[in-house]
Structure 1
């Protein structure tokens, strides 16, 4: 299992929070959920942290079965569309965005 994350390190511009959230939910989530091979899409918004740096305005986490699935999605037409629609999001954001792929283990919770 693999999870590819987009880390939005920084902050949403003052007064743009609602527009940022609306753009993510109305315009981008419908595209991200169409990535071929995606098993799960999560949009994480930082509520609190035990450190002041980094400040993460958002993390997009998409789960995949294989690295080949990630490669196919990154090469897909929906990715190109997503990148174009994301330009508006970047106008509302002060910071940087970087991507990381994690290998992910899943563990059942104890029944006790």
Structure 2
């Protein structure tokens, strides 16, 4: 399986934290969950870290079964729609955004 992540390295603008959260939940999550081929969508919000920098306001994690599924999602109308809607989020955010694709292997926990 492959996981494509969008790292929001930075923070919500001061005083915009709640608005940032609502915007993601109400405007973007409904689009991200419609990406074709997506098997799971997670929105990670940094609670704490053992280093001061980098700070990640959010990480979007979308799981796909294959590279072809990622390519289909990236070419989809809903992805382009989400990019337009993300422009509104950027008004509430200071930092940068970058994407990474990870190969993921699941490992069962011991049952003892």
TM-score bucket of the superposed structures, by smaller chain: over 0.9
The aligned residue for residue 60 of structure 1 is: 60
The aligned residue for residue 21 of structure 1 is: 21
Q: Shift in Å at residue 35 of structure 1?
A: 0.2
Alpha-carbon displacement from aligned partner over 1:57-92 (angstroms, at most 9, x marks no partner): 000000000011000000000001000000010111
The aligned residue for residue 86 of structure 1 is: 86
Segments of 5+ residues of structure 2 without an aligned counterpart are none
In 2, distance between residues paired with 1:6 and 1:39?
16
Segments of 5+ residues of structure 1 without an aligned counterpart are none
- TM-score, normalization: structure 1? 0.99
- 1:1-112 → structure 2 map (5 Å cutoff): 1-112=1-112
Give SS of 2:43's match.
strand
Q: Shift in Å at residue 32 of structure 1?
A: 0.2
In 1, distance between residues paired with 2:91 and 2:100?
22
In 1, distance between residues paired with 2:104 and 2:28?
24
In 1, distance between residues paired with 2:43 and 2:102?
16
Give SS of 2:25's match.
helix
- TM-score, normalization: structure 2? 0.99
In 2, distance between residues paired with 1:101 and 1:69?
12
Q: Could you list the runs of 4 or more consecutive aligned residues of structure 1 that deviate by over 3 angstroms after TM superposition?
A: none
